[in-house]
């Protein structure tokens, strides 16, 4: 590895001071730095009725996991109210009659192996 005297960086190459190929990439590196206000706007858009997180993420060049993480962080700081959907919701249980009143039909089981047949009848469980 050689030390480039002009840029003061190490360059990969077979011998000191010579580089066979140097490629310079321009443009964004793929990693964006977003302001808190921009994150909050994207999160707010993802919380609109009918919005799909994946579509909002694709629109803004983010991943849905980033948006979920931003939501979580905003909730932890109290900037975003707790999500009503974050707590599990259950359907009410309706029992029409006591279990003792029901008649369980007899279960008939027959196992046949070759010439041997085993028959069982169970009337309650």
pLDDT number for residue 22: 72
What pLDDT does residue 1 have?
45
- 42 token code pair: 């994207």
Q: What is the dihedral of CA 77, 81, 82, 85, to 10 degrees?
A: -140
Model pTM?
A: 0.45
The pLDDT > 70 percentage for the chain reads: 66
The DSSP symbol for 32 reads -
Comparing 10 with 36, the larger pLDDT belongs to: 36
The answer to whether 51 and 58 have CB atoms below 8 angstroms apart is no
Bridge partners, residue 9, by sequence = 4
Average pLDDT, integer, range 68-77: 92
Cα separation of 53 and 36, whole Å?
18
pLDDT for 69? 95
């Amino acid at each position: 590895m050689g030390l480039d005297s002009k840029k003061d960086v190490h360059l990969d190459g077979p011998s000191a001071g010579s580089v066979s190929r140097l490629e310079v990439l321009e443009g964004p590196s793929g990693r964006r730095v977003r302001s808190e206000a921009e994150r909050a706007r994207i999160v707010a858009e993802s919380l609109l009725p009918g919005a799909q997180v994946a579509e909002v993420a694709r629109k803004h060049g983010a991943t849905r996991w980033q948006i979920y993480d931003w939501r979580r962080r905003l909730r932890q700081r109290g900037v975003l109210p707790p999500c009503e959907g974050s707590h599990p919701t259950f359907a009410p249980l309706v029992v029409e009659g006591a279990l003792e009143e029901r008649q369980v039909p007899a279960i008939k089981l027959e196992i046949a192996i070759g010439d041997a047949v085993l028959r069982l009848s169970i009337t309650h469980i």
